[in-house]
Amino acid sequence: MKKKENNTAKRIKKPWPTKDVMEQIYEKNLWGGDTSDFYSGKGSHDPETVNPYIAEVTSFLTSFKSPITVCDLGCGDFNVGSVLVPHAKDYIAIDIVSELIERNKEKFTAKNLEFYCLDIATDDLPVGDCALVRQVLQHLSNAEVQRILNKLTAFRYVILTEHVPEGDFMPNKDIISGQGIRLKKQSGLDVLAPPFNFTVKEEKKLLSVPLEDGKGVIITTLYVM
């Protein structure tokens, strides 16, 4: 298993601030977990959050007569994605942190699995049928979210998971990428609302998981493009 290297002191400032922030989160274990390995936070490991998501996405993927190609945009430590791989024709997992991707390549292998280090806001995305975007956009500024949404129109299906306040809230308050999520502003992402006005053919809520600590709810929505 590839372990993290604390190279904060050696790191030269890059022109991708979001990449820098995400690298720092993993280097300093800001989302918790074992300090010797990568950990994508409680949202990727808490059974009460993860298991219902895996069940819903598995049900969707297995509903097709022939398996479809999945692009996991922001795959993190791959604790969740690894369970979904057998249900896809091809599973393409993407993250912005290069050392994390190298670790994933060593830890997870399958004939239909590929990993790529990409910035999904600025780089071209692989071709696929379904995009999984699980608790990724919530960390990004409105400008970066918009750039990603522009690319998601290339997929037939998008399954989007976001951590939002419970009940009514003012959607889409802007934040600086990587500095918390909109919950701290009593806001959350609604891609169908302004300023995004994401155009879809169909919307279906797959899952709503209230958090025990009362800090919002994690909602998973299927969009047919």
208 neighbors 214 (Cβ within 8 angstroms)? no
Burial class (CB in 10 A: 0-12, 13-18, 19+), 91: buried
Q: Is residue 118 within 8 Å of 96, Cβ to Cβ? A: yes
Closest CA to 152 of 175, 128, 188, 119: 128
Distances (CA, A) of 156 to 9, 132, 219: 43, 12, 20
Amino acid identity at 195 = P
Sequential pLDDT tens for the chain (225 residues) = 454 555 444 444 444 477 776 767 667 666 666 666 776 777 788 888 999 999 999 999 999 999 999 999 999 999 999 999 999 999 999 998 889 999 999 999 999 999 999 999 999 999 999 999 999 999 899 999 999 999 999 999 999 999 999 989 999 999 988 778 899 899 999 999 999 999 999 999 999 999 877 689 999 999 999
Measured CA distances, 225 to 111, 135, 154, 193, 210 (Å): 28, 20, 8, 16, 27
> Which residue spans within 50-142 are E strands per DSSP?
70-73, 91-95, 113-117, 130-134
Place of tokens 């604390």: 6
Rounded to two decimals, the pTM is 0.88
Residue among 49, 62, 70, 39 nearest 219 (CA):
49
- Read off the tokens for 116: 């790529």
Neighbours of 35 (CB within 10 A): 11
Domains delineated in the chain: 17-224 (3.40.50.150)
